[in-house]
């Protein structure tokens, strides 16, 4: 068994929406990021990389490399899954906590969880996805940023 932890946070700026878990969500902001800034997929990818003893997302896809400018975080996750498939093994479970003020995410929770299951090639029952508010405290609570925490447990394959 191998466990990994991931975390991501992005500032916001005026825009028309964001990607969260690979799903486009209409909002009055966008993320300030080199890629699409999907904090859910960034935290998840970092958790996977950590579980297999690899460096973080920014090492694999440097923010100063124009090749990755505007990249889809779903594509970055797919690259990592393909490149390290021999090391990842079976996903036992992942648990994700998205911390966001607006928009309200309850209507999007199922679509995000379904998309995560599809991207990971696993059953939705292996994915915990919770949404929390920043309670008006700090950058996240005041809507200037969105954050995400993730843990993943993998089984086998030390290729």
List Cα–Cα distances, 117 to 102, 125, 139, 159, in angstroms: 24, 9, 30, 24
pLDDT exceeds cutoff 70 at 6? yes
Structure tokens at 71: 């990249």
Structure tokens at 96: 């994700």
Using DSSP's 3-state secondary structure scheme, residue 104 falls into coil
CATH code of domain 2-155: 3.30.1330.50
Q: What is the pLDDT of residue 73?
A: 97
pLDDT exceeds cutoff 90 at 159? no
List Cα–Cα distances, 68 to 14, 52, 86, 120, in angstroms: 22, 23, 24, 21
Segment 53-101, tens digit of pLDDT:
999 999 999 989 999 999 999 999 999 999 999 899 899 999 999 999 9
pLDDT band for 156, please (50, 70, 90 cuts).
confident
pLDDT exceeds cutoff 90 at 158? no
**Across the chain, what does the average pLDDT equal?**
95
The pTM of this model reads 0.96
Segment 100-140, tens digit of pLDDT:
999 999 999 999 999 999 999 999 999 999 999 999 999 99
Task: Check if the beta carbon of residue 78 is closer than 8 Å to that of residue 60.
Answer: no
pLDDT exceeds cutoff 70 at 155? yes
Strand partners, 24: 19
Core vs surface per residue 118-133: b (16+ CB within 10 A) or e: ebbebeeebbebebee
pLDDT exceeds cutoff 80 at 15? yes
User: What are the sequence ranges of the domains in the chain?
Assistant: 2-155
CA distance 27 to 100: 12
């Amino acid at each position: 068994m191998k466990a990994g932890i991931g975390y991501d946070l992005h500032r916001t700026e005026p825009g028309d929406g964001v990607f969260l878990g690979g799903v486009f969500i209409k909002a009055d902001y966008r993320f300030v990021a080199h890629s699409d800034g999907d904090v859910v997929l960034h935290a998840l990818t970092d958790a996977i990389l950590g579980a297999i003893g690899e460096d973080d997302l920014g090492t694999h896809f440097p923010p100063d490399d124009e090749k990755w400018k505007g990249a889809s975080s779903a594509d970055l996750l797919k690259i990592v899954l393909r490149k390290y498939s021999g090391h990842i093994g079976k996903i036992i479970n992942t648990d994700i906590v998205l911390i966001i003020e607006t928009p309200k995410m309850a209507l999007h929770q199922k679509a995000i969880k379904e998309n995560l299951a599809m991207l990971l090639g696993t059953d939705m029952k292996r994915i915990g996805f919770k949404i929390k508010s920043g309670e008006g405290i700090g950058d996240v609570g005041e809507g200037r940023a969105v954050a995400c925490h993730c843990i993943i447990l993998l089984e086998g394959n030390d290729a």
